[in-house]
Chains A and B, each alone.
Chain A
Amino acid sequence: MSNIVLAQAAEAATSINPGLAAIGYGLGTLGPGLGVGLIFAAVINGTARQPEAQGKLQSIAFSTFVLVEVLALIGIVVYFLASTS
Protein backbone atom coordinates (compact mmCIF):
# COMPACT_ATOMS: atom_id res chain seq x y z
CA MET A 1 0.00 0.00 0.00
CA SER A 2 2.89 2.33 0.70
CA ASN A 3 3.97 1.79 -2.91
CA ILE A 4 0.72 3.30 -4.13
CA VAL A 5 1.18 6.28 -1.83
CA LEU A 6 4.72 6.75 -3.07
CA ALA A 7 3.62 6.54 -6.70
CA GLN A 8 0.89 9.11 -6.13
CA ALA A 9 3.30 11.42 -4.35
CA ALA A 10 5.75 11.07 -7.23
CA GLU A 11 3.00 11.94 -9.70
CA ALA A 12 2.07 15.01 -7.74
CA ALA A 13 5.70 16.05 -7.25
CA THR A 14 6.64 16.11 -10.93
CA SER A 15 4.23 18.93 -11.66
CA ILE A 16 5.96 21.63 -9.60
CA ASN A 17 8.01 22.85 -12.54
CA PRO A 18 5.41 25.30 -13.91
CA GLY A 19 4.89 26.78 -10.43
CA LEU A 20 8.60 27.20 -9.84
CA ALA A 21 9.02 28.65 -13.30
CA ALA A 22 6.32 31.22 -12.54
CA ILE A 23 8.00 32.17 -9.26
CA GLY A 24 11.33 32.41 -11.05
CA TYR A 25 9.93 34.73 -13.67
CA GLY A 26 8.29 36.88 -10.99
CA LEU A 27 11.61 37.27 -9.20
CA GLY A 28 13.30 38.00 -12.49
CA THR A 29 11.14 41.06 -13.12
CA LEU A 30 12.43 42.91 -10.06
CA GLY A 31 15.75 43.94 -11.56
CA PRO A 32 14.55 45.11 -14.96
CA GLY A 33 11.63 46.93 -13.34
CA LEU A 34 13.98 48.92 -11.13
CA GLY A 35 16.37 49.47 -14.00
CA VAL A 36 13.78 50.86 -16.38
CA GLY A 37 12.42 53.07 -13.61
CA LEU A 38 15.88 54.49 -12.94
CA ILE A 39 16.55 55.17 -16.61
CA PHE A 40 13.36 57.09 -17.18
CA ALA A 41 13.65 58.86 -13.82
CA ALA A 42 16.94 60.25 -15.09
CA VAL A 43 15.24 61.31 -18.34
CA ILE A 44 12.47 63.08 -16.48
CA ASN A 45 14.94 64.82 -14.19
CA GLY A 46 17.12 65.91 -17.07
CA THR A 47 14.14 67.18 -19.04
CA ALA A 48 12.95 69.11 -15.98
CA ARG A 49 16.30 70.83 -15.61
CA GLN A 50 16.78 71.53 -19.32
CA PRO A 51 13.73 71.08 -21.54
CA GLU A 52 15.71 71.55 -24.77
CA ALA A 53 17.61 68.35 -24.07
CA GLN A 54 14.49 66.20 -24.18
CA GLY A 55 15.15 64.78 -27.66
CA LYS A 56 18.69 63.64 -26.99
CA LEU A 57 17.81 62.34 -23.54
CA GLN A 58 14.92 60.33 -24.91
CA SER A 59 17.04 58.72 -27.62
CA ILE A 60 19.71 57.74 -25.09
CA ALA A 61 16.94 56.47 -22.80
CA PHE A 62 15.42 54.19 -25.42
CA SER A 63 18.73 52.77 -26.49
CA THR A 64 19.60 51.82 -22.91
CA PHE A 65 16.03 50.77 -22.10
CA VAL A 66 16.21 47.85 -24.49
CA LEU A 67 19.40 46.57 -22.89
CA VAL A 68 17.60 46.36 -19.55
CA GLU A 69 14.33 45.13 -21.02
CA VAL A 70 16.02 42.18 -22.69
CA LEU A 71 16.64 40.69 -19.26
CA ALA A 72 12.94 40.69 -18.48
CA LEU A 73 12.19 39.26 -21.93
CA ILE A 74 14.73 36.47 -21.45
CA GLY A 75 12.89 35.80 -18.18
CA ILE A 76 9.57 35.19 -19.90
CA VAL A 77 11.26 32.94 -22.47
CA VAL A 78 12.95 30.94 -19.70
CA TYR A 79 9.54 30.60 -18.04
CA PHE A 80 8.20 28.84 -21.12
CA LEU A 81 11.29 26.68 -21.37
CA ALA A 82 11.15 25.67 -17.73
CA SER A 83 7.42 25.17 -17.44
CA THR A 84 7.36 21.80 -19.13
CA SER A 85 6.39 19.32 -16.45
Chain B
Amino acid sequence: MGALVLAEGAEFKPPGIADFNLPPLFGSGYWLSFTKPMLLVIMSVVIIAAFFLIASRRLKVVPGKGQFFAESIYGFGRNNIARDQIGSKDFKPFIPLILGLFTFVLVNNFFGIIPFFQFPTMSRIGFPLALAFLVVYPVYHYVGIKRHGLGGYLKKELAPSSVPWFVMPLYALIEFAQKFFIAPATLAIRVFAAMFAGHLIIMVFALGGSFLLTDGEGLVKLASPVGFLFAIAMTFLEAFIQILQAYIFAFLAAGYIGAALASEH
Protein backbone atom coordinates (compact mmCIF):
# COMPACT_ATOMS: atom_id res chain seq x y z
CA MET B 1 0.00 0.00 0.00
CA GLY B 2 2.91 2.33 0.63
CA ALA B 3 2.44 5.65 2.30
CA LEU B 4 -0.77 7.67 2.34
CA VAL B 5 0.90 10.90 1.36
CA LEU B 6 -1.31 13.89 2.02
CA ALA B 7 -0.59 17.46 3.08
CA GLU B 8 3.10 18.31 3.07
CA GLY B 9 4.27 14.72 2.87
CA ALA B 10 2.77 13.66 6.22
CA GLU B 11 2.59 9.90 6.39
CA PHE B 12 0.06 7.76 8.21
CA LYS B 13 1.78 5.15 10.24
CA PRO B 14 -0.74 2.37 10.93
CA PRO B 15 -0.66 1.02 14.49
CA GLY B 16 1.16 -2.26 14.94
CA ILE B 17 2.82 -4.45 17.50
CA ALA B 18 5.21 -1.67 18.48
CA ASP B 19 2.31 0.34 19.91
CA PHE B 20 1.81 -2.35 22.53
CA ASN B 21 5.40 -2.10 23.81
CA LEU B 22 4.88 0.71 26.28
CA PRO B 23 8.03 2.36 27.64
CA PRO B 24 8.66 1.65 31.34
CA LEU B 25 7.31 4.09 33.90
CA PHE B 26 10.49 3.82 35.93
CA GLY B 27 13.38 1.46 36.01
CA SER B 28 15.07 0.16 32.91
CA GLY B 29 16.34 -3.02 31.38
CA TYR B 30 14.51 -6.32 31.08
CA TRP B 31 14.09 -7.30 34.73
CA LEU B 32 13.87 -4.02 36.57
CA SER B 33 11.50 -1.92 34.50
CA PHE B 34 8.09 -1.16 35.94
CA THR B 35 5.65 -0.67 33.07
CA LYS B 36 2.11 0.61 32.76
CA PRO B 37 0.52 -2.87 32.41
CA MET B 38 2.16 -3.88 35.70
CA LEU B 39 0.67 -0.83 37.36
CA LEU B 40 -2.74 -1.60 35.83
CA VAL B 41 -2.66 -5.18 37.09
CA ILE B 42 -1.87 -4.03 40.62
CA MET B 43 -4.61 -1.41 40.42
CA SER B 44 -7.13 -3.99 39.20
CA VAL B 45 -6.45 -6.17 42.23
CA VAL B 46 -6.86 -3.17 44.54
CA ILE B 47 -10.09 -2.16 42.82
CA ILE B 48 -11.63 -5.64 43.01
CA ALA B 49 -10.61 -6.19 46.61
CA ALA B 50 -11.86 -2.77 47.65
CA PHE B 51 -15.15 -3.29 45.81
CA PHE B 52 -15.94 -6.60 47.46
CA LEU B 53 -14.73 -5.51 50.91
CA ILE B 54 -16.74 -2.32 50.86
CA ALA B 55 -19.84 -4.04 49.48
CA SER B 56 -19.75 -6.71 52.17
CA ARG B 57 -19.55 -4.34 55.13
CA ARG B 58 -22.72 -4.31 57.21
CA LEU B 59 -24.63 -6.82 55.12
CA LYS B 60 -28.37 -6.42 55.35
CA VAL B 61 -31.05 -9.01 54.68
CA VAL B 62 -32.71 -6.64 52.22
CA PRO B 63 -29.72 -5.49 50.17
CA GLY B 64 -29.04 -1.96 49.08
CA LYS B 65 -27.76 -1.22 45.58
CA GLY B 66 -24.06 -1.82 46.20
CA GLN B 67 -24.63 -5.05 48.05
CA PHE B 68 -27.06 -6.21 45.36
CA PHE B 69 -24.55 -5.52 42.62
CA ALA B 70 -21.78 -7.36 44.44
CA GLU B 71 -24.13 -10.24 45.23
CA SER B 72 -25.11 -10.45 41.55
CA ILE B 73 -21.51 -10.77 40.48
CA TYR B 74 -20.78 -13.26 43.23
CA GLY B 75 -23.91 -15.25 42.40
CA PHE B 76 -23.08 -15.29 38.71
CA GLY B 77 -19.56 -16.59 39.36
CA ARG B 78 -20.76 -19.07 41.93
CA ASN B 79 -23.87 -20.48 40.24
CA ASN B 80 -23.59 -19.98 36.52
CA ILE B 81 -19.89 -20.64 36.24
CA ALA B 82 -18.59 -22.71 39.15
CA ARG B 83 -21.61 -24.80 40.11
CA ASP B 84 -22.75 -25.55 36.58
CA GLN B 85 -19.29 -26.58 35.43
CA ILE B 86 -17.82 -28.34 38.46
CA GLY B 87 -21.00 -29.90 39.79
CA SER B 88 -22.90 -29.09 42.95
CA LYS B 89 -20.97 -31.58 45.07
CA ASP B 90 -17.46 -30.24 44.96
CA PHE B 91 -17.62 -26.71 43.58
CA LYS B 92 -17.38 -24.87 46.88
CA PRO B 93 -13.57 -24.87 47.34
CA PHE B 94 -13.18 -23.37 43.88
CA ILE B 95 -15.55 -20.44 44.19
CA PRO B 96 -12.79 -17.94 45.17
CA LEU B 97 -10.58 -19.08 42.31
CA ILE B 98 -13.27 -18.94 39.64
CA LEU B 99 -14.74 -15.68 40.88
CA GLY B 100 -11.25 -14.23 41.13
CA LEU B 101 -10.35 -15.26 37.60
CA PHE B 102 -13.60 -13.83 36.25
CA THR B 103 -13.35 -10.45 37.97
CA PHE B 104 -9.60 -10.14 37.40
CA VAL B 105 -9.85 -10.75 33.66
CA LEU B 106 -12.98 -8.57 33.46
CA VAL B 107 -11.46 -5.52 35.16
CA ASN B 108 -8.21 -5.85 33.26
CA ASN B 109 -10.11 -6.09 30.00
CA PHE B 110 -12.22 -3.06 30.88
CA PHE B 111 -9.05 -1.02 31.30
CA GLY B 112 -8.87 -1.08 27.52
CA ILE B 113 -11.88 1.17 27.10
CA ILE B 114 -11.75 3.31 30.24
CA PRO B 115 -10.36 6.68 29.15
CA PHE B 116 -7.45 7.32 31.44
CA PHE B 117 -6.06 3.78 31.52
CA GLN B 118 -6.77 2.79 27.93
CA PHE B 119 -4.68 -0.34 27.74
CA PRO B 120 -6.09 -3.86 28.08
CA THR B 121 -3.42 -5.60 30.11
CA MET B 122 -4.36 -8.99 28.68
CA SER B 123 -3.06 -7.76 25.31
CA ARG B 124 0.47 -8.41 26.61
CA ILE B 125 0.74 -12.16 26.26
CA GLY B 126 2.65 -12.60 29.52
CA PHE B 127 -0.44 -11.96 31.64
CA PRO B 128 -2.79 -14.54 30.10
CA LEU B 129 0.10 -17.01 29.87
CA ALA B 130 0.78 -16.61 33.58
CA LEU B 131 -2.89 -16.98 34.41
CA ALA B 132 -3.34 -20.07 32.27
CA PHE B 133 -0.06 -21.89 32.90
CA LEU B 134 0.72 -20.88 36.46
CA VAL B 135 -2.79 -20.78 37.93
CA VAL B 136 -5.31 -22.87 36.02
CA TYR B 137 -3.01 -25.60 34.68
CA PRO B 138 -1.51 -26.70 38.02
CA VAL B 139 -4.90 -26.48 39.72
CA TYR B 140 -6.79 -28.82 37.48
CA HIS B 141 -4.00 -31.37 37.27
CA TYR B 142 -3.37 -31.26 41.02
CA VAL B 143 -7.03 -31.64 41.81
CA GLY B 144 -7.43 -34.56 39.41
CA ILE B 145 -4.33 -36.34 40.71
CA LYS B 146 -5.35 -35.76 44.30
CA ARG B 147 -8.78 -37.26 43.74
CA HIS B 148 -7.94 -40.17 41.48
CA GLY B 149 -4.25 -40.80 42.13
CA LEU B 150 -1.67 -40.33 39.38
CA GLY B 151 -2.33 -43.69 37.70
CA GLY B 152 -6.07 -43.39 37.99
CA TYR B 153 -6.05 -39.85 36.67
CA LEU B 154 -3.95 -40.76 33.64
CA LYS B 155 -6.06 -43.80 32.95
CA LYS B 156 -9.25 -41.80 33.23
CA GLU B 157 -8.02 -39.10 30.87
CA LEU B 158 -6.02 -41.07 28.34
CA ALA B 159 -7.55 -44.53 28.35
CA PRO B 160 -11.15 -44.45 29.53
CA SER B 161 -13.03 -47.72 29.30
CA SER B 162 -15.66 -46.26 27.01
CA VAL B 163 -13.22 -46.01 24.09
CA PRO B 164 -12.77 -49.10 21.82
CA TRP B 165 -9.29 -50.62 21.88
CA PHE B 166 -8.33 -49.96 18.27
CA VAL B 167 -8.90 -46.22 18.67
CA MET B 168 -7.02 -46.10 21.97
CA PRO B 169 -3.53 -45.04 20.79
CA LEU B 170 -4.84 -42.16 18.69
CA TYR B 171 -7.29 -41.18 21.41
CA ALA B 172 -4.60 -41.20 24.09
CA LEU B 173 -2.29 -39.09 21.93
CA ILE B 174 -4.94 -36.53 21.13
CA GLU B 175 -6.22 -36.34 24.69
CA PHE B 176 -2.69 -35.97 26.04
CA ALA B 177 -1.94 -33.12 23.66
CA GLN B 178 -5.30 -31.55 24.41
CA LYS B 179 -5.13 -31.69 28.20
CA PHE B 180 -1.45 -30.99 28.69
CA PHE B 181 -0.67 -28.47 25.96
CA ILE B 182 -3.57 -27.24 23.89
CA ALA B 183 -6.07 -26.48 26.64
CA PRO B 184 -3.98 -24.02 28.65
CA ALA B 185 -2.37 -22.59 25.52
CA THR B 186 -5.67 -21.80 23.84
CA LEU B 187 -7.04 -20.51 27.12
CA ALA B 188 -4.25 -17.94 27.14
CA ILE B 189 -4.23 -17.18 23.42
CA ARG B 190 -7.99 -16.70 23.27
CA VAL B 191 -8.10 -13.77 25.65
CA PHE B 192 -4.76 -12.39 24.45
CA ALA B 193 -5.70 -12.34 20.77
CA ALA B 194 -9.17 -10.96 21.43
CA MET B 195 -7.81 -8.06 23.48
CA PHE B 196 -4.92 -7.46 21.10
CA ALA B 197 -7.10 -7.41 18.00
CA GLY B 198 -9.80 -5.32 19.63
CA HIS B 199 -7.38 -2.69 20.89
CA LEU B 200 -5.70 -2.61 17.48
CA ILE B 201 -9.02 -2.02 15.71
CA ILE B 202 -9.97 0.85 17.99
CA MET B 203 -6.51 2.35 17.53
CA VAL B 204 -6.77 2.14 13.74
CA PHE B 205 -10.04 4.07 13.69
CA ALA B 206 -8.99 6.62 16.29
CA LEU B 207 -5.56 7.27 14.82
CA GLY B 208 -6.93 7.23 11.28
CA GLY B 209 -9.66 9.67 12.18
CA SER B 210 -7.26 12.05 13.85
CA PHE B 211 -4.80 11.76 10.98
CA LEU B 212 -7.53 12.66 8.49
CA LEU B 213 -8.49 15.61 10.66
CA THR B 214 -5.00 17.05 11.09
CA ASP B 215 -3.31 16.17 7.81
CA GLY B 216 -6.14 15.81 5.34
CA GLU B 217 -6.19 18.16 2.38
CA GLY B 218 -9.38 20.09 1.91
CA LEU B 219 -12.48 17.95 1.68
CA VAL B 220 -10.66 14.84 2.92
CA LYS B 221 -11.00 16.32 6.40
CA LEU B 222 -14.72 15.65 6.21
CA ALA B 223 -14.02 11.92 6.32
CA SER B 224 -12.59 12.06 9.83
CA PRO B 225 -15.92 11.96 11.74
CA VAL B 226 -16.53 8.57 10.10
CA GLY B 227 -13.32 7.37 11.68
CA PHE B 228 -14.29 8.63 15.10
CA LEU B 229 -17.82 7.23 14.76
CA PHE B 230 -16.45 3.81 14.01
CA ALA B 231 -14.04 4.10 16.91
CA ILE B 232 -17.04 4.65 19.19
CA ALA B 233 -18.98 1.77 17.62
CA MET B 234 -15.98 -0.53 17.94
CA THR B 235 -15.64 0.50 21.57
CA PHE B 236 -19.15 -0.76 22.29
CA LEU B 237 -18.45 -4.00 20.47
CA GLU B 238 -15.17 -4.28 22.37
CA ALA B 239 -16.98 -3.87 25.70
CA PHE B 240 -19.22 -6.81 24.82
CA ILE B 241 -16.26 -8.92 23.71
CA GLN B 242 -14.35 -8.09 26.89
CA ILE B 243 -17.19 -9.28 29.11
CA LEU B 244 -17.57 -12.40 26.98
CA GLN B 245 -13.84 -13.21 27.09
CA ALA B 246 -13.73 -12.82 30.87
CA TYR B 247 -16.77 -15.08 31.24
CA ILE B 248 -15.28 -17.67 28.87
CA PHE B 249 -11.93 -17.68 30.68
CA ALA B 250 -13.57 -18.49 34.00
CA PHE B 251 -16.06 -20.84 32.33
CA LEU B 252 -13.36 -22.92 30.65
CA ALA B 253 -11.16 -22.91 33.76
CA ALA B 254 -14.10 -24.26 35.76
CA GLY B 255 -14.82 -26.71 32.95
CA TYR B 256 -11.29 -28.12 33.07
CA ILE B 257 -11.47 -28.44 36.86
CA GLY B 258 -14.83 -30.15 36.60
CA ALA B 259 -13.57 -32.55 33.93
CA ALA B 260 -10.55 -33.44 36.08
CA LEU B 261 -12.75 -34.10 39.10
CA ALA B 262 -15.42 -36.09 37.28
CA SER B 263 -15.20 -39.84 37.61
CA GLU B 264 -15.61 -42.19 34.67
CA HIS B 265 -19.14 -43.05 33.76
Task: Give A residues with C-beta under 8 Å from B.
Answer: 62-63, 66, 69-70, 73-74, 76-77, 80
- B244: Cβ under 8 A from any A Cβ: yes
B244 near A62 (CB under 8 angstroms)?
A: yes
- B172: Cβ under 8 A from any A Cβ: no
Q: Which residues of B contact A76 (CB under 8 A)?
A: 193, 196-197
B248 near A77 (CB under 8 angstroms)?
A: no
B contact residues, total (Cβ < 8 Å): 16
Q: Which residues of B contact A73 (CB under 8 A)?
A: 189-190, 193-194, 197
| Closest residue of B by beta carbon distance from A62 | B244
| Closest residue of B by beta carbon distance from A78 | B193
Task: Give B residues with C-beta under 8 Å from A.
Answer: 16-17, 186, 189-190, 192-194, 196-197, 244-245, 247-248, 251-252
A63 near B193 (CB under 8 angstroms)?
A: no
B196 near A77 (CB under 8 angstroms)?
A: yes
The answer to whether residues A70 and B186 also contact, given A62-B244, A63-B248 and a CB cut-off of 8 A, is yes
| Closest residue of A by beta carbon distance from B193 | A73
With most chain B CB atoms within 10 A of its CB, the pick from A66, A74, A76, A80 is A66
| Closest residue of B by beta carbon distance from A77 | B193
B251 near A63 (CB under 8 angstroms)?
A: yes
